[in-house]
Amino acid sequence: MVYGPEASLPLGEKGLVDARRVVITGIGVLAPNGIGVEDFWSALLEGRSGIGPISLFDASEHFVGIAGEVDGFDPLIHIPFPVKPKRMGRHTQFALAASCMAIKDARVGESADLQSGSLLPIYVGVSTSAIEVIEQGKEQMSRRGPNKVSPHIVGACQPHAVATAISEHMGLNTRAMTVSTACAAGMDALAEAASVVREGRSDLVLAGGVDAPINPLTVACFGRTRMVPGGVVNAATRSCPFDRRREGGVMAEGGAFFVVESLVHAMARGAEPRLELLGWGSRLDRSAEAVGSGFEDAMREALDAAGTAPRDVHYICAHGPSDPELDQRETEAIKAVYGPWAYRIPVSSIKGVTGNPLAAAGPLELAACAGVFRDDLVPPTANYREPDPACDLDYVPLRPRRYRADCAMLNVHGMGGINSSLVVSRVTRP
């Protein structure tokens, strides 16, 4: 399934078409290793980890003892308007804060575009709902009886709660859509938003992805799968993408939102585009047994949609969750798509310092790529110390690299076998 433009659209070699070019003009980030895009970017370059022992609840009896938590987040501080945090899930709080950051960064907060509402649709990617709110409701009912349960729980735990909260608190009265495709949800929401802009249905869209799965039930379930590392020892280095020692992806929370805008509209209001969205694709694995087999198909579709040849891609921001099988499958897919060129371009994963924040994974990669284009630096793959013969690409180990990339690819993979890829570029003025 191709979310981007049809292959016949005359994008040209670099995607330089005057009509309906799609850019990012505002970014808001809440990550385990930084609140705000600048703190997040600095942490990536420094290899500063946001992974540590779980503090959001007592995890002493759980198999999983570590996670990437958004440290220092306070909804009463980071959301610039009155809210009632107890009536919303943690992921909804993240989304509100990140959305406000993106709106402020894009400088559309006081414009007619935002005030009218009709010009700012919302697309949100979520994977898990507010499980912690459901747990609280169950506890209330057990302790106080069914007639004392908060009626707000139903609204707070539905998948669409994030989009609803953003629209209500920002006074937006247009389209609000929720995408839920596991860890690919955030990237898929951005792809849908970009399609809205490219097709001329709106000049501005607010889009992103968010998840907050660090709660007793979700952590227990992931622990039972044994797809995640157990215990609390060496928390900051347990996520080691593509490294021979990798044990499984570290659970994490976070969110990133963006103002997605047509280039013409951005230029008309004097905005500074951060990067351009060229093409995107999403494909399922070829079978349930062939985990990660859809990586190759998604990457090929994204390149076709962008009108971009593999040799025009200068950097790959990999999914790389530190999973023994998925890291290898993604490496194999990159080599299948890029051929010999795969060995000549840097490939890095930011999950060594963030963990895997599910639906926020793709959006955090996109925020990282904005830094790549701005500063001519590629973030390293943290904790990569022992090469795996099956993962033999240039993973930019341990330290950032001075490097100019004009075009990049981003990959994500979600439980259930969904794979999504996005091709982005440095913005070139027409």
- Residue-level pLDDT at 118: 57
Q: Report the domain count for the chain.
A: 2
The secondary structure of residue 85, as a DSSP letter, is G
- Residue-level pLDDT at 137: 85
Question: What's the pLDDT tens digit per position in 338-391?
Answer: 999 999 999 999 999 999 999 999 999 999 999 999 999 999 999 999 999 999
- Residue-level pLDDT at 4: 32
Query: Which domain CATH number covers 397?
Result: 3.40.47.10
- Residue-level pLDDT at 7: 30
- Residue-level pLDDT at 173: 80
pLDDT score of 117 more than 70: no
- Residue-level pLDDT at 6: 32
d(CA 67, CA 51): 5
Q: Rounded mean pLDDT of the chain? A: 92
Question: What's the pLDDT tens digit per position in 395-430?
Answer: 999 999 999 999 999 999 999 999 999 999 999 977
317 is a domain residue: yes
pLDDT score of 203 more than 90: yes
Do 150 and 134 form a contact (C-beta atoms < 8 A)?
Answer: no
- Find the range with the poorest average confidence among 27-36, 136-145, 383-392: 136-145
402 is a domain residue: yes
**Residue ranges making up the domain that contains 284:** 278-426
Q: Which of 211, 237, 269 marks a domain boundary?
A: 269
The pLDDT of 266-290, averaged and rounded, is 95
The secondary structure of residue 348, as a DSSP letter, is E
| 82 Cβ neighbours under 8 A, 6+ residues apart | none
d(CA 129, CA 211): 8
The maximal CA–CA distance of the chain, rounded, in angstroms, is 65
66 is a domain residue: yes
- pTM over 0.85, yes/no: yes
348 is a domain residue: yes
5 is a domain residue: no
pLDDT score of 75 more than 50: yes
